[in-house]
Amino acid sequence: MASAPQNPTAAAAASDLLRVDDLPGRGRGLVASRNVREGEVLLSEPPVLLYPSTLASLRSYCAACFRSLPAAGAAVPCASCRAAAFCSPSCAAASHPRLLCTALSQAVQEPLLFLLSAYSLPDPSLHVVLSLSSAPPPPPGAQDAAGLHAAVAALAPPHMLPQGFSPDLTAALLSKDRGNSFAIMEPYRPGMSLELLKARAYAVYPRASLFNHDCLPNVCHFDYPDRPGPGNTDIVVRALHDISEGREVCISYFAANWRYADRQRRLLEDYGFRCECDRCQVESRWKDDDDNNGDDGDEAMEEEEGEEGGGDGGDDGMEEEEEEEGDGADDFPHAYFFVRYLCDSEGCWGMLAPLPPSPNGELSHVFECNLCGKLRKEEDAMPDEGTSGMNITFLVGSSDYDYSLGLAILLIVSLGDTIDLILFQDLSHQSSTVIVLVLPHTVPQTILSEALLV
């Protein structure tokens, strides 16, 4: 990923932009402690725990900082286990988790990488991890905590294990890992499918773990593991748009182009809740309407829109447009959100956030993708100025193309009270624009039957 220009003053002040609140129906969450401008860094935090994703990652990445290892012969092998390597003498001096190092000289299972790293922490850091929220019980078939605990006990010398080492403590740690770890991704290569991109390491950030989920977030997080200098494994959270004081600040726990059913399944299995944000409520109504009307899967229109997840996490940058466009529950301009904040690089679908403001407070007009690192000018992310008099009302996904925001974008543009114009652009193949005339959006589930290629 490309490294964004850093504003040290802004990063240092970021810790003052968030406060922890108890939010009705959502538990603890982070809210803006003052008005936040787009692109501002709200959080820059080092990990309390960092561990390799797989044994194979130790052959490609530094065991201490997880930068990509230099060319063969330049890496510094670990003098103790010989199974890991470091990118520099300074990282070699810092070494890597002592229990993990001891175990790597033996036959170690990959599910133990987290536990061996966690049990290597000093007591204060271990207590920080244990203070985090717990995830739901693991799904059936997952390796049980008792078996993993026994494996740790067999690999680790007793004098190196923390006081209180027990099966219950191991189970508690595994629950913290499932609910709070962030992936630090391997380098993105142009054309690489998002599904093929893997984590090089996982990290636990105590404050960042307090961010609640939102299907249309108002911030996104960046990592720059190959950036030179200190802090390369810090998580950096930037505002997508302006956020008002007191508004909840939310990230998305997965890519924004996921389908409704996939989002709900992932949230329930991994985090123990069903999302009832405006976007999810709209999409669930569309599904219900399709079922009631007897539409088959090839004809049904699946609306991919909505606002923010669960609590008070609205999109302040778009609120005025929402109010102007009508009182209907489906009149959210989320087409604007996806055009402006969803990366259109082939196979990517990361989030685009403005670069941080300059030290004198001037806003940036360049957006950066948090996955592939692509930089895009603001004017390239926005609809043509020639359409500025039109009102974007909502975004739709068509099962005929099987994309649901994954391959294409549909913009429904209001031309009056009685008819809409729909603009279609296939971002993955850069196809022509399709213009479709449909009935008034008071009947939003109209099947698209006529199209003109222009």
Q: Which of 228-242, 324-338, 349-363 has the lowest mean pLDDT?
A: 324-338
Q: 120-170 pLDDT, tens per residue?
A: 999 999 999 999 998 888 777 667 899 999 999 999 999 999 999 999 999
Sequence ranges of the domains in the chain: 49-182
Confidence of residue 15 (pLDDT cuts 50, 70, 90): low
Q: What pLDDT, on a 0 to 100 scale, did the predictor assign at position 100?
A: 95
How does pLDDT run across 250-300, given as a tens digit for each residue?
999 998 888 889 999 999 998 989 998 877 877 777 655 445 444 443 332
pLDDT band of residue 194 (cuts 50, 70, 90) is low
Q: CA-CA distance, 272 to 265, in Å (whole number)? A: 10
Q: What is the mean pLDDT of the chain?
A: 76
* C-beta of residue 39 within 8 angstroms of C-beta of residue 14: no
Supply the pLDDT for residue 335. 64
pLDDT in tens, 390-418: 333 333 433 333 333 333 434 443 333 33
Report pLDDT for 348: 82
**Its pTM surpasses 0.85:** no
Assess contact for 351 and 215: CB atoms under 8 A.
no
- Pull the structure tokens for residue 188: 């993105």
Note whether 312 and 23 are within 8 A (CB): yes
- Least Cα distance to 304 among 322, 320, 280 occurs for 280
